[in-house]
Structure 1
Amino acid sequence: MDRMFHYFVRNLVIVSIFTGLLSGCGVNTSGKSAEVATKTVEPVTLKFHFWYNEDQDNWKAVYKQFEKKYPNIKIESVTAGDNNSLDYLKKLDLAAASGDQVDVMMFSAPQYYTQRAAIQMLEPLNSYIAKDGYKVQDEYYFDPSIGDKTYALPAKKATFFVMLNKNHLDEAGLAVPKDWTWDEFLDYSKKLTKGEGANKRYGTYFHTFPLYYQIAQINQMENAFLYKPDGKSINIENPLIKKSLDILRQAEIMDKSATPYSEVISQKLNYRPQYFNEKASMILTGDFMIPEAGGTDKVPANFKTAFAPYPKVNKNDPTTTISGGDLMGVYAKSKHKEEAYQFVRWYTTEGITLQGKYIPTWKKADVSKVLDNLIASSKTPDKVDKESLLNVMKSSIPQKFSIPVPYHDEIDKAYVKEIERFLLGEVDTDTAIKNASQKVQEVIKNNNK
């Protein structure tokens, strides 16, 4: 009996030692998954909210390349694909209020970003940026930080310019402008206008975007908003506001060389059809139109497009362009903030470059190569005048980037409402400016109680 007992104890000890060795090697003898030294990365699906058309703007190739580099992260887009950034914002806010999954979001203008940062909808990225070891101002052409917090990274860089129908220029004996003033712009518009009635071709077309109502001020190097940098006093009595209204009055009423505002709103006109259907010879727009300059499947181009810089007020002024572009941030309530940041950082550097659809704000991007890709992405690249486009990109100086106040849109609406009365001939210039000043001052006062 003793002999059998000792034999049993000896085998038990051997088994215990062997089990311990197996346990030390990471083998789980219970049949469950053993813990290993390298942590298994759980797959994550990010919901990316934006407004662009995925097929048109090459977004699916972006997801594919990102997922190749980060195989544990999948991108699932939430977009109407209609390029309507204002409708998108309503849907974004509704998704957030409804508790839908939101991880990454984009904004087409700084004010939409500051509004949502103000209500703590965006995650501060400072700790992620510090961990990656870079400074936003060193990596990107503008820094969208609000105070000491960075809530988003810049994606595409906006450059504003004038697109011109080259055939119409040649017909009128006009050269492609390399440097010009608003007075010269108005002269071109007058000379490019042709015909009467339903068949009339206007020299230019001004859309209903608020920037057109402050056209001579909006691209200034500093102090370009309807309010001063302190956010508490108006900037509408600035002489450049009157100049802006004079430009519109000259083109639409005096020279009849711009599509009348009454027609724009009553017929719900849009700048793309007006330009590509040759109802207008020039449009003031941004670099988001470069891939469309050679036409698309929906709107083909039957003529060559040339480019001119944003017009100046005075001949000796610098050639400036509106500063801004898309901003990309992480939702404050996302359950995958680390992965969401990884996508934001990757897209605003490598991703947007390989996408080949926009001018990156990332300083290390090869802009010349990006331009080639943008032109090549048009339906008919030979309809794009690359030489004049390169001149615009080289000569245009971005204005100093300014963070708008959260109630920026409210100010815009109050201003536009009064300027619309001027455009419809209900009030004169001085009355429009006086009324707009009062309305905007009320908005500022109500938001600074």
Structure 2
Amino acid sequence: METEIQSFLAAFESFLSTMLQFGRNMLLPSRLYQVAVVLGCFVLAWLLRMWLGPKYESWMRGLDNRPKWQLRWLLVLHKRLTLIIFATSLWAAVGVFAATYQFPSRRYVLVLVATIATAWLFIRIAAQIIRNRFLRRVVIWGLSIYAVLYYTALLQAATSFLDGLAIEFGDFRLSALAILKALVVTGLLLAAARAVSSTSARRIRTNEDISPSMQELSIKFMQVVLYGAAFFIGLKAVGFDLTGLAVLSGAIGVGLGFGLQKVVSNLVSGIIILMDKSVKPGDVISLGETFGWINSLGARYVSVVTRDGKEYLIPNEDLITGQVVNWSHSNDYVRLDIFFGTAYGDDPHLVRKIAVEAAQGVNRVLGFKAPVCHIVGFGDSSVDYILRFWIKDPTEGLTNIRGNVYLALWDAFHAHGISIPFPQREVKVLPGSELQTSAPLATDEG
């Protein structure tokens, strides 16, 4: 422990002395006027930003019919306007000093600060390709600090200092520099894996020769391979011994296996669903009281969207162990049944004919699978019928097509004088009975 502390103190002392020496070099009497020019350029950039900022913003607001990417980059430049003016004014000052003074030392500070400011500007503009805001900030700050250390020749001292921050366990040594390298390399590899995965996923989903289930399975398998390879290659690239990590992960896996049974079950169920193609994106399913179409298949759950816009996240295990009605498993044809009744005085042959013709005239009802109508019973006050018809687009809804068919039946029966009966009751007054009525209640007006 004492050796580690001494090593850390030595690295910190070396880094601090290097920083102090750099500061003394910057504050030499011959360079103080260059520092003053830098401060003057910064004040000038701030003042010009206060003047140009509102004008630039009003000009952007007046742009019409411009692509979003152009407006986005104009907004990025608006946010970096101070840095742009600062770097431009510094390079202008460098040009003036180069024409005035022959020796490079007379403009060393100006060139150094202008170079760093330009590097910061390009870093902040290039980082806009990163969508995640937190990750974008990490990249901007990390590259900005690296640019400062690199151009001020302090990178070697900072590297030695971070390497001195280490923990040793026998032959194993873990330093802050190794951790930083591992994060950077692994982050770059994960970003590359994500880019390759996104591009490949789009191409796989547009390939109509691959079934939707195999598309999702291929994408999931590719993502696991790419992200896993990026993680382990990143650790190996910076010198981590993966043998100890494998033993440790095995021990942790045994411990977590009992606590994560449901998670593992859902993962395995998801793989089974993708392989046996029992459900796939776009299928219309019923599970309990949930009815909707599958929006996506995840590693842990299936996203089911209902007709009212609700999105249910159903665990994969429920689809394996429960009873699922897949309305479009082998094909998209769905048969629907509706029940109705007519009066006993109406001709049943005519009723069946009118019902079939009415159903055939409704959109979405298939014509080559002709509707049929049958008598199913004689009720108390009506002859009961069942009307069966087929559709091919259950994702468009079932309740609405039933309602349209019922409405067509109503119009057709009304046009042909066919009545739809309802229960009626007769009240008979027996001989010798008296019918009494109650007087109306008195009101305030009465």
Q: TM-score, normalised by structure 2?
A: 0.19
Higher relative helix content? 2
Task: Decide which structure has the larger Cα Rg and report it.
Answer: 2
Q: TM-score, normalised by structure 1?
A: 0.19
The one of the two structures with greater contact order (alpha-carbon pairs below 8 A, sep at least 6) is 1
